[in-house]
Amino acid sequence: MIEITLKGGVVKEYDAGVTAADVAKDLGAGLYKAACACKINGETKDLRTPIEKDCELAILTFDDEDGKYALRHTASHILAQAVKRLYPDVKLAIGPAIADGFYYDFDFSSPITSEDLEKIEAEMKKIVKEDLKLEKFELSPEEAIQMMEEKGEIYKVELIKEHAENGEPISFYKQGEFTELCAGPHIMSTKPVKAFKLTSLAGAYWRGDEKNKMLTRIYGTAFTKASDLEAYLERIEEAKKRDHRKLGKELGIFAMMEEGPGFPFFLPKGMVLKNTLIDFWRQIHTREGYVEISTPMMLNRQLWETSGHWGHYKENMYTTVIDDMDFAIKPMNCPGGMLVYKSQMHSYRDLPIRMGELGLVHRHEKSGTLHGLMRVRCFTQDDAHIFMTPEQITDEIKGVVRLIDEVYTLFGFKYHVELSTRPEDSMGSDEDWEMATDGLRKALDELNLPYVVNEGDGAFYGPKIDFHLEDSLGRTWQCGTIQLDFQLPQRFEAEYVGADGEKHRPIMIHRVVFGSIERFIGILIEHFAGAFPLWLAPVQVKLLPIADRHLDYLNEVKQKLAEVGIRAEIDDRSEKIGYKIREAQLEKVPYMLVAGDKDIENHVVSVRSRKDGDLGAKSLDDVIAALQEEIRTKAR
């Protein structure tokens, strides 16, 4: 007999070899029906996995993230099987589950179109109805290669050969006539994958490498309930309406040009938005005791070798040669910040030193990954670097967390936090990494801030805390980050004089709040659907004359608004007032001030709100006071 510890610490005894599916069935028919996968001692496994010794067991349903992945991974296999039935000569590449769905990459002998997705879905429904059991089996690398070569699956052969060197068995899953190279996990059969939809087609290079062949990627999603699928598809349609690329063009915020792929152009209204965010950033950082610096955009190879970027990040850097010396355009601001710190000697009394920099950085991104403002090749990083003593770590991290919370709350974002630990490709000693990770963990614990541990996803120089925003559509975006760094001060031999008169090494925090200002603007466009709160709106007030004779009055109004810093535009076109109001609504301007003969006679303006419609006639002084208060409080 073996002992299995279940949720809540309940211990049950079973015969060795019992499967997680058997345990789920023993615990209740409802759980067994809902089960998608399991965790055995914290490792995600198939429900069909035999359990041979004492362990902790968690049964995962679709409500669990790993349960979702198991069902959607199975959906990707169903997609591949359906495509293989309809297009027997197609070559299969890879098909993982991803956030919100799954995809599969295919090499078709002739192109397919979006119209073909309907018949592929119909074939998938047949496979689901057939209730095909998924059976896992293993082959030696030699047997696996032979089987895939006989099937003509060239991409699978390439993948197997990569893993053949260690001699370990290669795992496969079989459902009906379809066999797929896969490590799993999967649900027990095809039957539970009832609520699914193929959502789009795209091109994707094999292995993400532009030198390789372009494959056809089919995206889809899957749920256990049709109602959940419908709600998701409605959110997708809403997201299309909010697409920052579409709204950014319509609202005159930014443009992407063929002459600079991945390098955004900010238009006049976009610059107002960007500068307003930067002004806000400067206000809160001045309040929190930060000083602002600016470092060069290009620095020599020796600097990047000292920082470690030349060895760990060079493939993402743009380089050039000046006076026979290698230079690189900065992908990060931190090495420049280190030079500023080192430009003078510091005492322990000076610490912490909080240095902020709005630095333009450049990173080489593959063309296939570029996406509006969300993934670009140059962006403004709202960096700050904090230099401190070991005793100041926890308080400084807590201060940064509170600052980030203030900013995200202002915009109406919910967020969750991840603590990312040491990656394989890292610098520094075990002791440094342990101390750094414990410092971040302690700060989060003292703030009672819930977090999940993201093993192995830290920066190469230190662990980090990542903040994942949730926008108005429930989508998540990684923006803010706090990275604790013991390595860079050592590599640059940074020092301060301690209370004992001796020289010591400072500890460094890297942190961003917006992350990339460009990307944050993209997120804000979609979060607010372009309808920015008054303080942030590029045009805060639209002035609408009913006839040309009312223009002089509204020009005076515009001047008074400008004197108190309120951004206004006059629509002086020879159009009817109803048309002008509709246009201002489409431009998502927060307020409209309309003027006609009676308004001028009574020294008032007729006020319309983007949200509440007609607010009636008001004196300009009252309007200005109300607008100023709304801007001051940054109300949403």
In this structure, is residue 246 part of a structural domain?
no
Q: For tokens 């570029």, name the residue.
A: 370
Gap between the Cα atoms of 286 and 276, Å rounded: 15
Q: What is the pLDDT of residue 421?
A: 92
pLDDT digits (tens, 9 = 90+) for 513-560: 999 999 999 999 999 999 999 999 999 999 999 999 999 999 999 999
Gap between the Cα atoms of 464 and 441, Å rounded: 10
Percentages helix, strand, coil for the chain, rounded to the nearest 5? 40, 30, 30
Whether the pLDDT of residue 166 is over 80: the answer is no
Last-in-domain residue among 481, 503, 527? 527
Q: Compute the average pLDDT of residues 84-99.
A: 94
Report the CATH number that the domain containing residue 610 is assigned in CATH: 3.40.50.800
400 and 445 in a single domain? The answer is yes
Output the six-digit token pair for 428. 């520094």
In this structure, is residue 223 part of a structural domain?
yes
Q: Which residues are catalytic?
A: 334, 363, 381, 383, 385, 464, 510
What percent of the chain stands above pLDDT 90? 83
Q: Are 163 and 139 in contact (CB under 8 A)?
A: no
What percent of the chain stands above pLDDT 70? 100
Angle at 544 between CA 543 and CA 545, to 5 degrees: 120
**Amino acid making up residue 507:** I
Whether the pLDDT of residue 426 is over 90: the answer is no
Whether the pLDDT of residue 122 is over 90: the answer is yes
Q: Are 314 and 332 in contact (CB under 8 A)?
A: no
Whether the pLDDT of residue 230 is over 90: the answer is yes
Q: What is the pLDDT of residue 470?
A: 86
φ/ψ of residue 80, rounded to 5: -60, -40
Q: What is the pLDDT of residue 228?
A: 94
Report the CATH number that the domain containing residue 14 is assigned in CATH: 3.10.20.30
50 and 194 in a single domain? The answer is no
28 and 83 in a single domain? The answer is no
pLDDT tier at 379 (50, 70, 90 boundaries)?
very high
- The residues, ordered by sequence, that sit 6+ positions from 124 with a Cβ below 8 Å of its Cβ are 78, 79, 82, 196, 198
109 and 181 in a single domain? The answer is yes
For 523, the domain range is 256-294+346-527
pLDDT tier at 210 (50, 70, 90 boundaries)?
confident
In this structure, is residue 550 part of a structural domain?
yes
517 and 483 in a single domain? The answer is yes
In this structure, is residue 319 part of a structural domain?
no
Q: Report the DSSP beta bridge partners of residue 104.
A: 218
Q: Would the CA dihedral through 571, 575, 578, 582 be positive or negative?
A: negative
Q: Are 624 and 562 in contact (CB under 8 A)?
A: no
Lowest mean pLDDT among 117-131, 421-435, 476-490: 421-435
Gap between the Cα atoms of 75 and 182, Å rounded: 13
For β-strands 507-516 and 378-388, DSSP reports them as: antiparallel
Mean of per-residue pLDDT scores for the chain: 93
**Nearest partner of 172 among 87, 77, 55, judged by Cα:** 77
Whether the pLDDT of residue 167 is over 80: the answer is no
Q: Look up the pTM and report it.
A: 0.80
Report the CATH number that the domain containing residue 212 is assigned in CATH: 3.30.980.10
94 and 226 in a single domain? The answer is yes
Last-in-domain residue among 179, 214, 241? 241
442 and 408 in a single domain? The answer is yes
**20 burial via Cβ count (<10 Å: 0-12, 13-18, 19+):** buried
In this structure, is residue 321 part of a structural domain?
no
Q: What is the pLDDT of residue 89?
A: 94
The full 3-state SS of 281-317, as one line of letters, equals: HHHHHHHCCCEECCCCCEEEHHHHHHHCHHHHCHHHC
**Please, where are the H alpha helices in 137-225?**
141-151, 154-163
pLDDT digits (tens, 9 = 90+) for 243-256: 999 999 999 999 99
pLDDT tier at 24 (50, 70, 90 boundaries)?
very high
Gap between the Cα atoms of 319 and 322, Å rounded: 10
Q: What is the pLDDT of residue 462?
A: 84
Output the six-digit token pair for 94. 């890879």
Last-in-domain residue among 527, 556, 582? 527
DSSP H/E element including 123: helix 117-129
Angle at 587 between CA 585 and CA 589, to 5 degrees: 70
In this structure, is residue 326 part of a structural domain?
no
Q: What is the pLDDT of residue 484?
A: 87
Count of structural domains, the chain: 4
37 and 80 in a single domain? The answer is no
In this structure, is residue 299 part of a structural domain?
no
Gap between the Cα atoms of 57 and 480, Å rounded: 34
Report the CATH number that the domain containing residue 354 is assigned in CATH: 3.30.930.10
Q: Are 102 and 199 in contact (CB under 8 A)?
A: no
353 and 420 in a single domain? The answer is yes
Q: Compute the average pLDDT of residues 483-505.
A: 92
Q: Are 459 and 483 in contact (CB under 8 A)?
A: yes
449 and 511 in a single domain? The answer is yes
CA dihedral 114, 115, 117, 118 (to 10 degrees): 150
In this structure, is residue 135 part of a structural domain?
yes
pLDDT tier at 351 (50, 70, 90 boundaries)?
very high
What is the C-alpha R_g of the chain?
29
pLDDT tier at 163 (50, 70, 90 boundaries)?
confident
Whether the pLDDT of residue 425 is over 90: the answer is no
424 and 359 in a single domain? The answer is yes
Whether the pLDDT of residue 427 is over 90: the answer is no
Angle at 451 between CA 526 and CA 425, to 5 degrees: 90
237 and 272 in a single domain? The answer is no
**Nearest partner of 48 among 61, 58, 36, judged by Cα:** 36
Q: What is the pLDDT of residue 208?
A: 84
